[in-house]
Structure 1
Amino acid sequence: MSGDEHTETGTGWPEPTGPTGKPDPRPDAPDPDELSPLAPEVEVDPEPPPGETTLDRSTGRSFTSALALVGGWRRTSPATVMIFVLLALLGFTLVEQLRTTSTDPTTSAARQEDLVRILYDLNAQEDRLRQDIAALEDSQRQLRSGEQGRQAALEEAARRADELGILAGTLPAQGPGLVVRFEPGGAAAISAIRMLDAVQELRGAGAEAMQISGGDRVTVRIVASTYFLDGENGSVFVDGRLLTGPYTITVIGDPATMRTALNIPGGVVATVDGDGGTVIVEDREVAEVSALHAPVELEHARPIT
């Protein structure tokens, strides 16, 4: 092939020519590189027909992702759905319980002193019950053991008789306790209802034995059947005996618990102070209750055998 028929291009390929072997002089002629067999083919999206709506590719991908998410929810097992429902119910229950507890009118209205007193009384009562249980269990074990059991039975009977005698007021007693003195102020007298309130609060705090004395040294043992009536000139009848003020109650029991019971808000101490009187409470390591209550002869009641 001669040099007139082609020109070197540096690539070894002949320079493209038109139909006559020369470069195509037309302005809209294709680029010769586009006609090279090594040029990649470029896909061109066809123009949509007039009036036809097209869907953008990014929009199509988002729609496909949404379909995949819906399909994933459809494939969710019933157990998973049930777990979500139970967790939602549990969260609602916890929130409702916290809201109810935080708005409880009973605990929100109680003062700190009242709550401390209630807790202290409950702890003291629990300790006494535990001691009683331990004593009863020990007595049961001793009663089941032969000759020693019979001796223990006699000792237990004597101990129970002593306890009943103290409770009934037929035996004197001593032990730790309080001395509570009621002094009227001015024209205000200490009424019988105030004395009864004091006795009831002391009993509720675990008092085991009590007696009341007047300013005239008359002393009366306080038992379950004791009653109080107002007399003349600020005097008080206790079980039919006339006492004049000031009055002194000697009580055996846990001093701290009984003191707390007397000093609760709205209790005996606060009420007597409001009436113009004074209540003086003193601890005693050894308080003596020596007044005796005459036993009552029963006419109708008989023990069941």
Structure 2
Amino acid sequence: MSSDEHTETGTGWPQPADPRRPSGPAGEPDPRPDAPDPDELSPLAPEAAPGEEPAARDGGEPTVNLSTAEPAGGDGAAAGAPAGAGRRMSSAALMIAVLLALLGFTLVEQLRTTSADPTTSAARQEDLVRILYDLNARDVRLRQDIATLEESQRQLRSGEQGRQAALEEASRRADELGILAGTLPATGPGLSVRFEAGGGKPISASRVLDAVQELRGAGAEAMQISGGDRATVRIIASTFFLDGENGSLIVDGRRLTGPYTITVIGDPATMRTALNIPGGVVATVAGDGGTVIVEDREAAEVSALHAPIKLEHARPVS
């Protein structure tokens, strides 16, 4: 029996039995927790020589040596994994850097906004009050400027009406100045003052001048004097009076004979009171033997004109 075994194996020794998992009395699997898996190779199995396929077990299936098997995909796949991981790490680092830059920019803008005026934030309460006062004063000035410009705009929009009003005002002032200068005739309520000599004593130039001065002081606006020969002279600010021959009167170089009549425009009651005051013109002429007759006129006419005076030295102030 032993020789047959030696012959079958060809080794001169009995062929070792297949490593099998010990079984129980009824052929059940070994219940020990550390029992070897029956599918694992026995450590006593001979290793296949290089270039030789491993021996078949249990029906001739070849056993694969896992230690020499190459991973699927070869060396290229094994090398490609670290490269892809590196690219993923580079993209993540770039994204982190962009987010950090955006965060820094946001913080800088916030700080710039909250502390835009470091001088004001560090100013004292008194300084802040002064700044507020200056701003209020500037606001008032600007509002005044706006009001002035709006008024100018309103006047410009109503330019035609403004020009017409200006022309009317200029015409009115020209009329007033013309009456005062004696270059325009005038009419209005007033008085007629008549001087008649008596007692052989003529009416002197001083008495007529006193009457003119009292009438001016009482508000006379226009006057003229007429003689018995109907000669008439306009009385203005520059009019002068002189005594002439044979009781005549020289007014602005023109000779007038008595009796003399002054026609004056103004408030009749006021001028009458001024002439009749004690020691006034009426009393003085009466003391010389003459007579002064004062009559009211509802529409006194001053029609005599004075030639315009050509100024040689006076100039208007511009």
TM range (shorter): 0.5 to 0.7
Q: Which runs of 5+ in 2 are unaligned?
A: 1-150
Equivalent position SS for 2:175: helix
1:192 aligned to which of 205, 209, 213: 205
**1:218 matches 2:231:** yes
Aligned mates of 2:286, 2:313 — CA distance in 1:
45
Aligned mates of 1:299, 1:205 — CA distance in 2:
31
User: Corresponding residue for 2:185?
Assistant: 172
User: Corresponding residue for 2:122?
Assistant: none
Q: Give RMSD over aligned pairs.
A: 1.4
Which residue identity lines up with residue 229 of structure 1 in the other structure?
A: L
1:267 aligned to which of 280, 295, 304: 280
Which residue identity lines up with residue 197 of structure 1 in the other structure?
A: D
2:301 aligned to which of 285, 288, 294: 288
Using the TM superposition, give the Cα deviation of residue 162 of structure 1 relative to its aligned residue in structure 2, in angstroms: 0.3
* TM-score after normalising by structure 1: 0.52
Q: Within 5 Å, which residues of 2 pair with 1:62-73?
A: none
Deviations 1:107-164 (A, max 9, x none): xxxxxxxxxxxxxxxxxxxxxxxxxxxxxxxxxx9xx853322211110000000000
Deviations 1:43-65 (A, max 9, x none): xxxxxxxxxxxxxxxxxxxxxxx
Aligned mates of 1:189, 1:243 — CA distance in 2:
12
1:257 aligned to which of 270, 280, 283: 270
* TM-score after normalising by structure 2: 0.50
Equivalent position SS for 1:233: helix
Aligned mates of 1:190, 1:297 — CA distance in 2:
32
Work out the percentage of aligned pairs sharing the same amino acid.
Answer: 85
Which residue identity lines up with residue 298 of structure 1 in the other structure?
A: L
Aligned mates of 2:314, 2:243 — CA distance in 1:
31
Which residue identity lines up with residue 265 of structure 1 in the other structure?
A: P
User: Corresponding residue for 1:66?
Assistant: none
Aligned mates of 2:198, 2:243 — CA distance in 1:
17
Equivalent position SS for 1:220: strand
Aligned mates of 2:248, 2:179 — CA distance in 1:
27
Aligned mates of 1:266, 1:299 — CA distance in 2:
40
User: Corresponding residue for 1:245?
Assistant: 258
2:244 aligned to which of 209, 214, 231: 231
Which residue identity lines up with residue 294 of structure 1 in the other structure?
A: A
1:150 aligned to which of 157, 163, 166: 163
Equivalent position SS for 2:315: coil
Shift >4 Å, 4+ stretches: none
Equivalent position SS for 1:257: helix
Which residue identity lines up with residue 264 of structure 1 in the other structure?
A: I
Using the TM superposition, give the Cα deviation of residue 303 of structure 1 relative to its aligned residue in structure 2, in angstroms: 1.7
Aligned mates of 1:286, 1:214 — CA distance in 2:
20
Q: Within 5 Å, which residues of 2 pair with 1:1-305?
A: 145=155, 146-147=158-159, 148-305=161-318
Equivalent position SS for 2:172: helix
Using the TM superposition, give the Cα deviation of residue 301 of structure 1 relative to its aligned residue in structure 2, in angstroms: 2.0
Aligned mates of 1:248, 1:153 — CA distance in 2:
39
Which residue identity lines up with residue 259 of structure 1 in the other structure?
A: R
Equivalent position SS for 1:303: coil
Deviations 1:81-113 (A, max 9, x none): xxxxxxxxxxxxxxxxxxxxxxxxxxxxxxxxx
Which residue identity lines up with residue 205 of structure 1 in the other structure?
A: A
Aligned mates of 1:266, 1:251 — CA distance in 2:
21
Using the TM superposition, give the Cα deviation of residue 300 of structure 1 relative to its aligned residue in structure 2, in angstroms: 2.2
Which residue identity lines up with residue 285 of structure 2 in the other structure?
A: V
Aligned mates of 1:188, 1:158 — CA distance in 2:
47
Using the TM superposition, give the Cα deviation of residue 285 of structure 1 relative to its aligned residue in structure 2, in angstroms: 0.3
Using the TM superposition, give the Cα deviation of residue 197 of structure 1 relative to its aligned residue in structure 2, in angstroms: 0.1
Higher-RCO chain (CA-CA 8 Å, sequence separation at least 6): 1
Equivalent position SS for 1:178: strand
Using the TM superposition, give the Cα deviation of residue 299 of structure 1 relative to its aligned residue in structure 2, in angstroms: 1.9
Using the TM superposition, give the Cα deviation of residue 234 of structure 1 relative to its aligned residue in structure 2, in angstroms: 1.0
